[in-house]
Amino acid sequence: MSILAHKNTKLLVQGITGNEGLFHSQQMFQYKTNIVAGVSPGKGGEWVLDGKIPVFDSVRSAVEMTGADASVIFVPARYCADAIYEAVDADIPLVVCITEGVPVQDMMRVKRFLAHKKTRIIGPNCPGILTPGETKIGIIPGNITFPGNVGVISRSGTLTYEVLYALKQADRGVSTCIGIGGDPIKGVGFVELLEMFEADAQTDQIVMIGEIGGNEEEAAAEYISRYVTKPVVAFIAGVTAPPGKRMGHAGAIIEGKEGTAQEKIKTLEASGIRVAQHPEQIPSLLA
């Protein structure tokens, strides 16, 4: 069994009638993702994807009618917090927020709201989840990998695709790939997913793609050294990034020696984790 999402996951799409939501819903549908509903306030009763997917006015009504147990969000940034609240209030176990540019203050309120909830949030500003051959929730291209035993966790969207393709070229398949996003305030992080991959019988090795800023990689290194028995290979983006300058994601900013790629690499290697110098080196380190 893959982690988080599989072929039986019943997905609803919040924002399905928007340009992005509709386009990526079509891509997910073509991948055989089990999309059961869309949500777009004011457009309940409509059907999309050639009349195959019903649209509801609210998440709760969609869940009651279809039994959806996962949601992917493609709504504008200013509406994302409300979309997450609505999904959590409908008791959806897994919510994946693709939208970028969600205000940090909004996500801080969301994090407080989630403190005593069972819903897991992936993102925002993330590519989502891909379980090769089973389901695709988000925007990760389905043709750049195939089923296998390598679990992938990434803070970087573009590097996620590059690493998946490098693994494919080396004939290495993936159990599940999760892009957690690079924002400073987000849902599930490295440690929780490492715990899940460690418990997953179909994952034998783990790839962790980090980047400058924050201390998630350092926390992951400590967790791996204590609790993870499976081989882990890491790559840290941003070796040449100048201190004090934001690079790409809102979370990719370093101050002094804190959050630098060099410090992260040093911490990871001290914990016995092999660190690739470039993404194409990852398959050989796994071997």
What gap in Å lies between CA 18 and CA 55, rounded to an integer?
A: 12
- Single out the residue of 146, 179, 138, 182 nearest to residue 165, CA to CA: 146
**Among residues 6, 116, 249, 278, which one is catalytic?**
249
Which neighbouring-strand residues pair with 209? 154, 235
Query: Residue 45's CB: how many other CB atoms inside 10 A?
Result: 8
The verdict on whether 249 is a catalytic residue reads yes
- The encoded tokens of residue 87 equal 């999904």
Cα-Cα-Cα-Cα dihedral sign, residues 228, 206, 249, 112:
negative
Cα-Cα-Cα-Cα dihedral sign, residues 21, 24, 26, 29:
negative
Q: Which residue spans within the chain are E strands per DSSP?
A: 11-14, 35-39, 47-48, 53-56, 70-73, 94-97, 120-122, 128-131, 135-138, 147-154, 174-179, 205-211, 232-237, 274-275
| 3-class secondary-structure state, position 2 | coil
Which neighbouring-strand residues pair with 96? 72, 122
Burial class (CB in 10 A: 0-12, 13-18, 19+), 20: middle
What gap in Å lies between CA 237 and CA 241, rounded to an integer?
A: 9
Among left, alpha and beta (phi > 0; psi -120 to 50; other), residue 275 is beta
Name the helix (H) or strand (E) containing 110: helix 104-114
Catalytic residue numbers read 249
